């Protein structure tokens, strides 16, 4: 006789395989944050090379001050959803500012990036509709599609031919089809051919949703993301993103050219049935958006650091992604090597992200680094030196 709990023995086995040494990679505790790029882990000063703090704004004085002001004046939380408890003026202001930032008419703010994807996908899609989903799309995109009840077909990662072949096969159903992709992919650090995807969707009369979680603040002359860099902001039907990466806070959003985004406020369950973001979180996000717009030198510095890390790791002969980006995934020979290297990097004072199946895109095992504008050149050199000691010199 089986029980409800039996499935957890497999989880237990997997965790034990990962843990091995002193620190569990899935449960790291940062005892103290020293700065945007440095923390204390297990008593040791550690360079944080695996955050998504792309612009380094988590300690930005204007953002901290805005959050403190909101805490003192608006309280610790909203204690309910926007539909039930009303919108705070700041939720609305952030929506206006996002719409203005993208130069699109409609914007909707959610409590998390994960919730934004669930919220938009479940409101937009229903059984009988189709989704063409990039094979490497984030779990929140997959979960939203699955929850919607639409038919899901995956196409080869970043492959316009594979997308078109599936779209062609759908025939008349193409006009009830949503193509779901990301901009910058967060594990390997490769970019989607968004222009090609947009051209295909136009030809077939389908719709396009792009998750720009890792692209916002990084690409485009104004930091609007890969949609801006590839000139397709107006062609995307829905652009979703998160505040938890380059904006250094939490929350998610969707901007769109379509009026129906406003109607989703009445139909999107992940929007309706959860508490709205705390006023302090909204305030820090608004301040960070302003900093991102004003201080373009942060983006320049981020790219400088990204080039330094990518060139350094490539110079060591390590297997990185196909292009320079603030995300650099280093492929390891196998899971055992990745786990072992992750522990040794941490012991050398460098925190990276351990990515092993099923979280990795193609079954490989990787050490993921992400650069921040706040990393110093010396810190980037130290990260490269630690990789050399752990994966090359050995």
CA distances from 168 to 151, 159, 175 (A): 15, 14, 11
Of residues 254 and 391, the one with the C-beta less far from ligand PMP = 254
What is the nearest approach in angstroms of ligand PMP to the Cβ of residue 182?
Answer: 5
At 160 the three-state DSSP class reads: helix
Give the chain's end-to-end CA distance (angstroms, integer): 49
What is the nearest approach in angstroms of ligand PMP to the Cβ of residue 116?
Answer: 7
Burial bucket for residue 236 (CB in 10 Å: 0-12, 13-18, 19+): buried
Of residues 105 and 193, the one with the C-beta less far from ligand PMP = 193
Would you say 126 and 157 are in contact if contact means Cβ atoms under 8 Å apart? no
Please tell me whether residue 140 binds ligand PMP under the rule CB under 6 A.
yes
**Residues 249-268 close enough to bind ligand PMP by CB under 6 A:** 252
318 vs 52: CA distance, rounded Å: 22
What is the nearest approach in angstroms of ligand PMP to the Cβ of residue 211?
Answer: 5
What is the nearest approach in angstroms of ligand PMP to the Cβ of residue 186?
Answer: 5
Pairing of strands 177-182, 207-211: parallel
Of residues 117 and 230, the one with the C-beta less far from ligand PMP = 117
What is the nearest approach in angstroms of ligand PMP to the Cβ of residue 391?
Answer: 25
Of residues 40 and 272, the one with the C-beta less far from ligand PMP = 272
Please tell me whether residue 242 binds ligand PMP under the rule CB under 6 A.
yes
Please tell me whether residue 370 binds ligand PMP under the rule CB under 6 A.
no
Name the phi and psi angles at 103, rounded to 5.
60, 45
What is the nearest approach in angstroms of ligand PMP to the Cβ of residue 361?
Answer: 12
**Residues 178-217 close enough to bind ligand PMP by CB under 6 A:** 182, 186, 211, 213-214
When binding is defined by CB under 6 A, the residue of 138, 157, 343, 368 that contacts ligand PMP is: 138
**Residues 88-127 close enough to bind ligand PMP by CB under 6 A:** 112-114, 117
What is the nearest approach in angstroms of ligand PMP to the Cβ of residue 40?
Answer: 24
Of residues 144 and 312, the one with the C-beta less far from ligand PMP = 144
47 vs 198: CA distance, rounded Å: 39
Site mask for ligand PMP (CB under 6 A), range 280-309, x = bound: ------------------------------
Residue nearest to ligand PMP (CB): 113
Site mask for ligand PMP (CB under 6 A), range 313-342, x = bound: ------------------------------
Name the phi and psi angles at 266, rounded to 5.
-100, -10
Closest CA to 354 of 381, 379, 335: 335
What is the nearest approach in angstroms of ligand PMP to the Cβ of residue 281?
Answer: 11
CA distances from 57 to 63, 137, 203, 354, 393 (A): 8, 26, 41, 24, 35
What is the nearest approach in angstroms of ligand PMP to the Cβ of residue 139?
Answer: 8
CA angle 89, 61, 37 (to 5 degrees): 115
Of residues 113 and 279, the one with the C-beta less far from ligand PMP = 113
Name the phi and psi angles at 210, rounded to 5.
-125, 125
When binding is defined by CB under 6 A, the residue of 90, 148, 244, 284 that contacts ligand PMP is: 244
Name the phi and psi angles at 33, rounded to 5.
-90, 125
Please tell me whether residue 51 binds ligand PMP under the rule CB under 6 A.
no
Q: What is the residue-wise DSSP string for 273-327?
A: TSPPPPHHHHHHHHHHHHHHHH-THHHHHHHHHHHHHHHHHHHTT-B--SS--SE
Of residues 113 and 312, the one with the C-beta less far from ligand PMP = 113
Of residues 112 and 177, the one with the C-beta less far from ligand PMP = 112
Q: Where are the alpha helices (DSSP H) in the chain?
A: 8-19, 61-74, 82-85, 89-102, 113-124, 139-148, 160-170, 194-204, 226-229, 260-263, 269-272, 279-294, 297-315, 335-347, 377-387
Q: Site size for ligand PMP, by CB under 6 A? A: 14
Q: Copy the structure tokens of residue 232.
A: 């397709």
Task: Give contact residues for ligand PMP (rule: CB under 6 A).
Answer: 112-114, 117, 138, 140, 182, 186, 211, 213-214, 242, 244, 252
């Amino acid at each position: 006789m089986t029980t409800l709990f039996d499935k957890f023995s497999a989880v237990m086995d997997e965790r034990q395989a990962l843990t091995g040494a002193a620190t569990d990679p899935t449960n790291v505790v940062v005892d103290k944050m020293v700065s945007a790029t440095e923390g204390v882990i297990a008593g040791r000063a550690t360079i944080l090379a695996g955050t998504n703090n792309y612009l380094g704004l988590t300690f930005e004085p204007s953002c901290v001050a805005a959050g403190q002001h909101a805490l003192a004046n608006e309280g610790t939380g909203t204690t309910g959803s926007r539909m039930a408890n009303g919108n705070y003026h700041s939720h609305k202001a952030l929506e206006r500012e996002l719409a203005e930032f993208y130069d699109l008419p409609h914007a909707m703010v959610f409590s998390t990036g994960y919730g934004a994807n669930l919220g938009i996908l479940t409101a937009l899609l229903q059984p009988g509709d189709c989704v063409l989903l990039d094979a490497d799309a984030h779990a929140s995109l997959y979960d939203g599609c699955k929850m919607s009840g639409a038919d899901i077909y995956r196409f080869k990662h970043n492959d316009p031919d594979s997308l078109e072949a599936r779209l062609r096969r759908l025939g008349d159903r193409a006009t009830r089809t949503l193509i779901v992709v990301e901009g910058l992919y967060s594990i390997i650090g490769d970019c989607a051919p968004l222009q090609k995807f947009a051209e295909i969707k136009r030809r077939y009369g389908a719709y396009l949703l792009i998750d720009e979680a890792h692209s916002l603040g990084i690409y485009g002359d104004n930091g609007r993301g890969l949609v801006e860099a590839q000139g397709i902001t107006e062609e995307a039907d829905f652009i979703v993103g998160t505040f938890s990466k380059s904006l250094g806070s939490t929350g998610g959003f969707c901007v769109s050219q379509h009026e129906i985004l406003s109607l989703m406020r009445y139909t999107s369950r992940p929007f309706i049935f959860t508490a709205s973001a705390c006023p302090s979180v909204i305030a820090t996000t608004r301040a960070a958006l302003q900093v991102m717009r004003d201080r373009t030198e942060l983006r320049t510095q981020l790219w400088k650091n990204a080039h330094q890390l990518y060139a350094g790791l490539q110079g060591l002969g390590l297997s990185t992604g196909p292009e320079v980006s603030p995300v650099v995934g280093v492929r390891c020979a196998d899971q055992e090597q990745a786990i072992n290297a992750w522990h040794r990097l941490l012991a050398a004072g460098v925190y990276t992200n351990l990515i092993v199946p099923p979280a990795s895109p193609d079954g490989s095992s990787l050490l993921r680094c992400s650069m921040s504008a706040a990393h110093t050149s010396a810190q980037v050199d130290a990260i490269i030196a630690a990789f050399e000691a752990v994966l090359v010199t050995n």
